[in-house]
Amino acid sequence: MLGTRVRVLSQLVDWVRNDLKSILWLSGMAGVGKTSIAITLCRMLEEDATVLLGGTFFCSRTANDERRSDVRRILPTLAAHLADVSPSFASQLAVELRPNPGSVVYKPPSDQFFPLLKRPLEALEPDDRPIIFIIDALDECSDELELSELLKEIVTHTCTAKVKFILISRPETHVIGSLDSNQPRNEILHLETIGRDDVTEDIRMYIGNKFGQNPLEDPETWYSDADVHALATIANGLFIVASTVVTYILDTEDVGDRKGCLQATVSAVNESKVATGPLDEIYELIITRASPAMKVGPHELVQTQRILASILVARMPLSLEALSELLNARIDAIRGSLHRLRAVVHVPEEPDQPGLRTVHASFDDYIFERAASDVRIDRSLGEEALSRGCLRVLAERLHFNVSHVQSSYRPNPSSKTGFIPLSLEYACLQWIYHVSGWVEPSAFDTHINDAFRPRLLFWLEVMSVLGHVQRATAMLVLAAMTVRFQRK
């Protein structure tokens, strides 16, 4: 563990054990390593007998899983984790949920807090150990109003049990306002206050170690200490910059290509007064070198943009196999388009393995908002591609007895039986959200009437098998508000 990380973790552990305040906010801009600190802290607390790690929730927009950015999932997840390690909490939680076990999960945070946490915590037997809850990347939650509601419950709660919350986020306005409302109970640790020289030295050590672990025949032929120092300076205190650069450079095993990537990176990134400047220039370098005008034709460039936009707006984890069916593209073509983007896009090894996603949320923000006009991608490109793909998959895949049940008197089979492929699962669960996200939803009226409406009952069968009948109702309401169903 690097020096600055050791100091931050030491402060966090000391606060957990000794501080009387009940809420600690770990604040830092994108890319400084907040999540890596949170993961390490969780591992340390799991092995610490003086505390009880009650639960964790790692919010994320880049996981391609809408549940990871849903505020209403946070408290149920924390309660479930604590129930696993505390029988008395689990017993009281069961009492609270007995009247209607499933209803609380779908309620706003203000209606979840008392039955899921406060009342079960009040029933715990006295214990000197503090119970720690960790929520990472609050700024990546999709609903700011519900997030503010959750934070209000956290900062105003009182409990006889020793409960502490560690909340981690960027210094966003809507998060700051909620946490500043009860200063006597809060403590804020700003990662930006760590000495820049110390962080740069840590990054230099990180880059040097990574390069040393990936030698070629003669590593000195492609990098020097001066190169490592230059890259550490370019990172400007952001570990995400260092990580992205290292992945990009080590992506090739040829000495000449690797050295070329290194020198191009050093020369392309200039000092910027904007905090995200170095990272943005790294992203631009990766994108432009991934699609050089002399080697990539207009069709291939458009196809790569379409693939990347689809990955960015996907609402749950997709596999190469599922994305290929949704986009009507070959798996090898998708893999080829993403080959030179591996520094910013995670591509699973197996084609049927879910997990296509961007490496960091900052890349999503960059490519949609801050990128130069010749690099920027419009979000609507992904929404349109997945809208058309979902409707086509529904038309091709939905049919009578799609789940292969043997009898209507038997329970629905699990989707894990393989009768419902990921592409169909995605299309059934997400089609209307992509349609409503398109700039002109009415453009899909005809497609919906031709592809979806005649197969409504087959779609409901899949939603039942997947356990999302309640969601089906909400989707139909949204569809009625978004598109015009034509009478036939």
SS3 state of residue 166: strand
pLDDT at 80: 94
pLDDT score of 220? 59
CA–CA distance, 403 with 414 (Å, rounded to integer): 9
| Burial zone of 449 (CB within 10 Å; 0-12 exposed, 13-18 middle, 19+ buried) | middle
Burial of 487 (C-beta count, 10 Å sphere; 0-12/13-18/19+): exposed
**d(Cα 471, Cα 477) in Å, to the nearest integer?**
10
- What is residue 130's predicted lDDT score, i.e. its pLDDT? 92
| Orientation of helix 331-338 relative to helix 320-327, angle to 10° | 110
pLDDT of residue 301: 80
- State residue 460's pLDDT score: 93
Cβ count near 125 (within 10 Å) = 8
Q: Which pLDDT score, from 0 to 100, does residue 3 have?
A: 63
Listed in sequence order, the DSSP H helices in 214-356 are 225-235, 239-249, 255-268, 277-290, 298-313, 320-327, 331-338
Closest CA to 428 of 461, 382, 381: 461
- Residue 162: helix, strand or coil by DSSP? coil
Tokens of 193: 């206050």
Distance of alpha carbon 353 from alpha carbon 476, whole angstroms: 30
Looking at residue 128, its pLDDT comes to: 78
pLDDT tens for the 488 residues of the chain, in order:
456 677 788 888 888 888 778 899 998 877 778 888 899 999 999 999 999 999 999 998 776 677 888 999 999 999 999 999 999 999 999 998 887 766 777 789 999 999 999 999 988 877 778 999 999 999 888 888 899 999 989 988 888 788 999 999 988 766 766 666 556 677 888 876 666 677 788 888 889 888 888 776 565 568 888 889 989 888 877 888 888 889 888 887 777 778 888 888 887 665 444 445 778 888 888 887 776 544 556 677 888 899 999 999 999 889 999 999 999 999 999 998 898 888 899 999 899 999 898 888 888 889 999 888 888 999 999 999 999 999 999 999 999 888 877 655 555 554 444 579 999 999 999 999 999 988 788 888 888 888 888 999 999 999 998 888 888 999 999 988 887 655 44
Per-residue confidence (pLDDT) for residue 123, from 0 to 100: 84
pLDDT, residue 172, reads 74
Phi and psi at 445, nearest 5°, equal -55, -50
| pLDDT value of position 294 | 41
Give me the phi and psi of 314, to 5 degrees please: -55, 140
Instruction: Kindly provide the b/e burial profile for residues 398-408, where b requires at least 16 CB atoms within 10 angstroms of the residue's own CB.
Output: beeebbeeeee
- The C-alpha atoms of residue 51 and residue 16 are separated, in whole angstroms, by 8
What is the DSSP secondary-structure string of 49-91?
A: TTSEEEEEEE--STTS-GGGG-GGGHHHHHHHHHHHH-HHHHH
The H-or-E segment that residue 132 falls in is strand 131-136
User: Residue 201: what are its φ and ψ, rounded to 5°?
Assistant: -65, -40
Amino acid identity for residue 208 in this structure:
G
The reported pLDDT for the residue numbered 86 is: 92
Sequence-ordered list of residues with C-beta below 8 angstroms from that of 274, at least 6 positions apart, any chain: 280
What distance in Å separates the CA atoms of residue 314 and residue 386, rounded to the nearest whole number? 8
